[in-house]
Amino acid sequence: MPPEGLIALRHSSFSADSIYPRPLDAYGWSAELDDHFRSVTDAPTVPGRVIRVDRGRCDVVIADGDSGVTVVHADTGPVADPDPMRLPCTGDWAAVSVGAAGTFVQALLPRRTAMVRSSASQRSEGQVLAANVDTIAVVVSLDTEPDLGRIERFLALAWESGAQPLMILTKSDLAEDADAVRETVEQAAPGVDVLIVSATSGEGMDILAAVLTGTSVLVGQSGAGKSTIANALLGRSAMEVQQTRSDGKGRHTTTTRELMPLPGGGVLIDTPGIRGVGMYDASEGLQQVFSEIEELAEDCRFRDCEHVAEPGCAVIEAIEDGMLQQRRLDSYRKLVRENQWMASRSDARLRQERLKALKTQGKEGMANMIAKRG
């Protein structure tokens, strides 16, 4: 389609009273996004959803006439930002300009939810894994012993995002006692539904398809079965699948986060396998994951109780009475410490950046003053 045709979509695909792009219904557009789109830019743009990001460019799905959609490859230069959390991410809604000079993401709409982890950067930065998500499905394979600590990490980030967490236990056809594993995982995931599925036998796949409405994202380690589950839900081989290594460790199959429409409605984001699941300002998420410890702590004698050896500690009493697992408390302490450390690092970085900005402004003001005197 020529550029002038795409620009015309700003008018042809919308009613007189709304800019609601009906063809984007399947990708999650709602009337609530109208005001956001109106306010982000004055440039002639069309709304679209980012379905893939790769090296300063991204694929964006936009309306194509009154009933269809098309995917454009857009440059993200206009929204470049030194803060990686402000860069376009799979799931973002964007204002896109299309013209003879090229296709550009001119602005990002405010995110409704965002799953964020600490990045590998030395600057204590956050990395957005997926934006505007309704359900975050943590995928764990039943062919190996579940890493409960890692599950708790994933769930803390999921709760913190504002989305609804979901646990998916895959490869049930390879498990000796899937129900026993589910009971163990449920203890590490209070308030979260835990589903047992197998893409091979079809067990639980109908329930999973019914649960994944709106925008859903699959997260987990490599080899957990995310791509296999995605292909089963999509009804086609959209994602490459590889066998798990002989040592039980997964192989990376998905290399980029990609958003795809589901046959039954809604959209699905498959993600690469995640090895590092660092905390990033996830205090509320941790409170959700360890809700039983938070409730017990309300009855501790001291408000600043660290649940180690303080007298009148309700958490320690619960462990002695067999009502709370020592493993849960150890994991809670570890993740809280990590989260506090990352928060302090982030605060220090922000202070440094503000100080640098003030110094720069001071130098510019002094230079202007000297120029005027001269």
The domain that contains 337 carries what CATH number? 1.10.40.50
pLDDT of residue 369: 53
DSSP-derived letter for residue 36 is H
pLDDT of residue 125: 78
Together in a domain, 166 and 248: yes
pLDDT of residue 167: 98
Report residue 268: phi and psi, to 5°. Answer: -125, 135
pLDDT of residue 344: 80
pLDDT of residue 348: 65
pLDDT of residue 122: 53
Range of the domain at 99: 3-108
Together in a domain, 36 and 67: yes
Together in a domain, 118 and 261: yes
pLDDT of residue 254: 46
3-state secondary structure (DSSP) of residue 41: coil
Flag whether 315 is in a domain.
yes
Answer yes or no: are the C-beta atoms of 257 and 90 closer than 8 Å. yes
Flag whether 234 is in a domain.
yes
Together in a domain, 287 and 235: no
pLDDT of residue 153: 95
Together in a domain, 118 and 266: yes
Structure tokens at 364: 């510019």
- The half-sphere exposure of 235 on its side-chain side, counting CA atoms within 13 A, is 7
Flag whether 264 is in a domain.
yes
Together in a domain, 255 and 140: yes
Together in a domain, 104 and 119: no
Residues 186-201 have pLDDT tens digits of 999 999 999 999 999 9
Intervals of the chain under pLDDT 70: 1-21, 119-124, 237-255, 273, 346-374
Answer yes or no: are the C-beta atoms of 244 and 226 closer than 8 Å. no
Answer yes or no: are the C-beta atoms of 127 and 88 closer than 8 Å. no
Together in a domain, 233 and 123: yes
Q: What are the distances in angstroms from CA 59 to CA 72, 74, 112, 237, 301? A: 6, 6, 20, 20, 55
Give the count of domains, the chain.
3
Together in a domain, 133 and 153: yes
**What is the Cα–Cα distance from 37 to 94, expressed in whole angstroms?**
8
pTM of the model: 0.83
pLDDT of residue 281: 86
Flag whether 238 is in a domain.
yes
Domain boundary among 67, 89, 108: 108
pLDDT of residue 191: 95
Flag whether 369 is in a domain.
no
For residue 241, give every residue at least 6 positions away whose Cβ sits within 8 Å of its Cβ, in sequence order, or none: 227, 228, 231, 253
